[in-house]
Structure 1
Amino acid sequence: MPRPAAREREFATRFTSTPRGARLARRLVSYRLDDWGHPYGSPANETFALITAELTANAVQHGHVPGRDFHVRLTLVDNTLRVEVTDTRAEKKPPSAPPAPDSASESGRGLLLVAALADSWGVTPRTAAPGKTVWAELSHPAPRPTRAQRPTSDTPA
């Protein structure tokens, strides 16, 4: 019987439910991916930064509860990146399929982007508290060695 996949990497933290918090979340996810071997400018880093930007912007715009933060969790397991964005607003859940955008509207395209870029995405209710978690996954090629794993000229290869 195959063993369950072991968690290879994880990053999780809370952010203020503001546009600044959403920007910081996107930047820290991109930084963490670079640290994990997916450099800035790589397809995995750029795609996942965009997915994170859309999910965190939605958490701020639609999931904001005054005085409550949102939570971001990034994991890398068996070449699958997963981001989870949790907010405390339970009554505003995104649809299971992204709605068709209104051509006159300046918003409403975030989940269309997430659905187009991610291999899978969804929404799960929080079990221990009010709110929801919106998540997205992306399979990707194996990362290059991180800075700490790369051999130096003093280290035998």
Structure 2
Amino acid sequence: MVLSTHAFRHDSRADVGAPARHDVFRLPALCASVSDARARIRARLREWGADAELRDDAGLVMTELFTNAVRHTDSRRITCALHDVGSAVRLEVTDQGRGEGDPMPCAATADEEGGRGLLLVSVLAAAWGSDPAADGTGRVVWAELALHRAPH
């Protein structure tokens, strides 16, 4: 079951960069939900007028953050949020906690299949980090991506 809310500015401006907009949704903490989270973020950014580069980057960042929440916590559900903060979009993934330590990029060897997700996030995002969840039971991992403008 997907629970969601989204808000939009009251004027007719369609460009990303309108800070009053956000979208929040919850998905089961399953590997199968990763593609749903990525698609939701990409679709919402398309509605907001974001260019393809920003949609691709945000989709990849959401994939990495959601996957980490599934793999490294024993959460039953994950809350995702997309906020238009004016000069950037902010992605947030909130787990239910019980993971080990704070998220940190690691140095994966050439033979390892995983371990590069947060390194990718750090390259694509203008800033990223983690904070305790508002309810005190989990963690919010967030990333802010600077806006990319398509040429007119």
Deviation sequence 1:32-61 (CA, Å, 0-9, x none) = 00000014xx11111111101111111111
1:57 to 63, 67, 76: 67
Q: Are the counterparts in 2 of residues 90 and 132 from structure 1 also a CA contact under 8 Å?
A: no
Q: Are the counterparts in 2 of residues 124 and 134 from structure 1 also a CA contact under 8 Å?
A: yes
Residues in 1 aligned to 2:102 and 2:53: alpha-carbon distance in whole angstroms: 26
In structure 1, the residue matched to 2:10 is none
Is the partner of 2:82 in helix, strand or coil? Answer: strand
TM-score, reference length from structure 1: 0.78
Which sections of structure 2, spanning at least 5 residues, go unmatched? Answer: 1-17
Q: After TM superposition, where is structure 1 displaced by more than 6 Å over at least 4 residues in a row?
A: none
Residues in 1 aligned to 2:127 and 2:68: alpha-carbon distance in whole angstroms: 17
In structure 1, the residue matched to 2:45 is 33
Residues in 2 aligned to 1:12 and 1:143: alpha-carbon distance in whole angstroms: 26
Q: How many residues are treated as equivalent by the alignment?
A: 134
Residues in 1 aligned to 2:137 and 2:43: alpha-carbon distance in whole angstroms: 30
Higher deviation after alignment, 123-132 or 10-19:
123-132
TM-score, reference length from structure 2: 0.80
Which sections of structure 1, spanning at least 5 residues, go unmatched? Answer: 1-5, 145-157
Aligned ranges 1:1-157 → 2 under 5 Å: 7-39=19-51, 42-65=52-75, 68-95=76-103, 97-141=104-148
Greater Cα radius of gyration, structure 1 or 2: 1
Residues in 1 aligned to 2:148 and 2:113: alpha-carbon distance in whole angstroms: 34
Percent identical residues: 34
